[in-house]
Structure 1
Amino acid sequence: MLLRKTLLGLFSVLFLLGCTTTDKNSPKKHMLWKISDSNSSVYLMGSVHFADRSFYPLDTVITNAFDASDELAVELDMSDTAVVKDIAVQTELLGKLEEGKTLAQILPEGLLSSFDSLCLSWYIPSEALYGYKPWAAAMTIGSIAVMRRGFDPRFGIDFFFLHRAHETQKKILALETVEEQVNALAGEGVPDSIGIYYLKSTIRDLRLMDSSITLMMESWKRGDDSLFRTAMYLGEEDGCAEDSLLQAVIDERVYISRNRKMAESITSFLSSDRKVFIVVGAAHMTGRGDNVLKLLRDKGLTVEQY
């Protein structure tokens, strides 16, 4: 998730990060939670989808929890070539503008200028993205921005456990379908204003990407879910009322509605006494409001961070 932020907000959080001390007598925490009912439990791991070698090896607390589980559940099984191909097909199908239309005709003049300038500075022909809808262009430049800073999806926490599942012959479960993920931003009834806002906020956030990504990755390594949450919402208070409404729509579609489904799946695993190790984006656990952990607690389940 690309972050909205301000210099003031970023400085205050970085100052907090630098001054935070860890009690040597307190056990180290991770982005790992044990979810339990009266007689069964599952593990829930918060992932960063892009990472680097510095994240490894993972702590034995995490790998032991995986080893003690019989199945792995992920958002999508990205180790399945059919799934990867389907994502490409669906994104192309839903992300392309209709024949004869281009971003140059859709984007406000200021946003188009910012987009062209960004592509020029990255040596990307902006015309190569002109045939895509704003949300698809935003996701493309967002991914490029993260990878330009040395983070790679091949080192993502999801991929690590998918590889381990294949090695240990654990069953892999998908919590979502490709259509559900792609439709979060491209589904029927999503107004054009959502995609334009998504692109605008993505480009705006790039100004401080180096610092914000460093903050988010460090908080993940520390298992500091509170700081991770703070990083997610840096600068949001600076948006106008219209931006807040558009952001609320994105939050509902991309996070909250999916959080509800994830929580239901976890509840089902517990009801069936299945030992499942679940890996989903950390934002689903740390986001404000109805995040997955809150929804599980609301169901009366025990939630413990490890």
Structure 2
Amino acid sequence: MLQPLAVPVPHAGPGEVRLRVHAAAVSPTDILLMAGLLRHSGMQLPYCPGQDAAGVVDEVGPGVAGLAPGDRVMALVMPTSAAGGAYREHTVLPAVRVAHSPSGTSHEEAATLPMNGLTARLGLDLMDLAAGQLLAVTGAAGAVGGYLVELAKADGLRVVADAAPADEELVRRLGADHVVPRGDGLAEAVRRIAPAGAGGVADAAVLVTGALGAVRDGGQVAAFRGTEVYGALRRGLVAHAVYVPDYVGDRAELDDLRQLAERGELSLRVARILPAAEAAHAHRLMEAVGLRGRVVLTF
């Protein structure tokens, strides 16, 4: 059960910074951990979830460069670490996981970028499609899917994305070149646009079979729930497991996302803002169908 708890304020050690957290985005992973994965992870109670934080640096440890007290920052937090996650007023992190927040954004907006943005970035980097190739994106209206569309366009790719009728305008606004109906028939719809199939698919909605059918022979698949759910791949398809901790500690990648957001090439979508004491309600909202953007807790 999620409830407020008083804990000692931590201090930054060598190579670390302490954040006064002002906002923490709620992610599906937080909900999965609270739903039962926690008991298999070896973590001890009390446990603090949360992967995305935004706030202000208020303490800097020895050996830290590029960050100073008073800086507005965002960070990717590993909730399975001994220090716990982002749902807290103060958190201590390795400085390499922290980047300046996009200028002109609120803490709530900045908190939606690190985990989802880096997940999308990693998926595209693993597929390594050439500019001009066609990428299919499933779950394009979601947080990761939306970043996939925008980052792919920034990379010079052509994008065909799925959407429910209510989300078509949103997905077009994100930059998709083609929008096809969500659900059954995705592969056929993509192949009407590209008869040989797309060069790759970023399967954020985990459609699995429906997504694979949209990809050309020898094409690439970015798998966001592990490659094992795709079974034995045929037609020379290559599946890449997208695991965002692979980009933990890469401030340059997070800073690249900052710059894209500042140029208006990434949309920081906040669905609801709630006080931290309502974290349990925030989790229930995230489990609801049709939420577009992230629920963000404030501290």
TM range (shorter): under 0.3
Higher relative contact order (CA 8 A, sep 6+): 1
Give the strand-richer structure, 1 or 2. 2
Provide TM-score, normalisation by structure 1. Answer: 0.24
Provide TM-score, normalisation by structure 2. Answer: 0.24
